[in-house]
Amino acid sequence: MKRDMDLVRKILQAFEGEDHSSRMMYLHINGYKEEEINYHMLIMIDAGLLVGIPFPLGEGIPHVVPERMTWQGHDFLDAARDDTRWDKAKGIMAKIGGVTFEIMKQILTQVMADQMKQIMGIQS
């Protein structure tokens, strides 16, 4: 299954908006299958964006019960939250032809820093 950074962003946004006094057993995101969401939560756990528990239910992708976002997950979502920033970073990635997660974070951070300089009136 191919990694979908738009889905990663949507999972973090959905997770951030939930009340976590009780565990979120199922996460539904329009346009995505449960298998895609579970796979992405698994790799997000690997990347340190989420903490969660995978439950194997036979063959295939296990069901994932996310417990919480990590500090890194919050940082990534803060960098990716703004739609304009996200679209600009995705445009850069498309020109490159795909990037690693670490490069994606660097692109988002640079785009955010450029926006901050512009807002503050700082010349590069």
pLDDT band at 23 (very low <50, low <70, confident <90, very high): low
State whether 9 and 53 are in the same domain.
yes
Mean pLDDT computed over 44-68 = 89
State whether 64 and 9 are in the same domain.
yes
pLDDT, tens digit, 9 for 90 and up, residues 88-97: 999 998 898 8
pLDDT, tens digit, 9 for 90 and up, residues 108-124: 999 998 888 888 888 76
- Of the candidates 78, 3, 75, 86, which has an alpha carbon nearest to the alpha carbon of residue 42? 3
State whether 58 and 112 are in the same domain.
no
Report how far residue 79's alpha carbon sits from residue 107's, in angstroms, rounded to the nearest whole number.
9
Domain presence at residue 76: no
State whether 11 and 56 are in the same domain.
yes
State whether 90 and 112 are in the same domain.
yes
State whether 61 and 104 are in the same domain.
no
State whether 89 and 53 are in the same domain.
no
| pLDDT of 57 | 79
- Of the candidates 16, 1, 17, which has an alpha carbon nearest to the alpha carbon of residue 76? 16
State whether 9 and 62 are in the same domain.
yes
State whether 61 and 36 are in the same domain.
yes
Mean pLDDT computed over 57-78 = 89
State whether 93 and 61 are in the same domain.
no
pTM to 2 decimal places:
0.86
pLDDT band at 76 (very low <50, low <70, confident <90, very high): very high
pLDDT band at 25 (very low <50, low <70, confident <90, very high): low
State whether 19 and 64 are in the same domain.
yes
Please, which residues have CB within 8 angstroms of residue 96's CB and are 6 or more apart in sequence? 103
Mean pLDDT computed over 55-68 = 86
Domain presence at residue 77: no
| Structural domains of the chain, count | 2
- Range of the structural domain that residue 96 is part of: 82-120
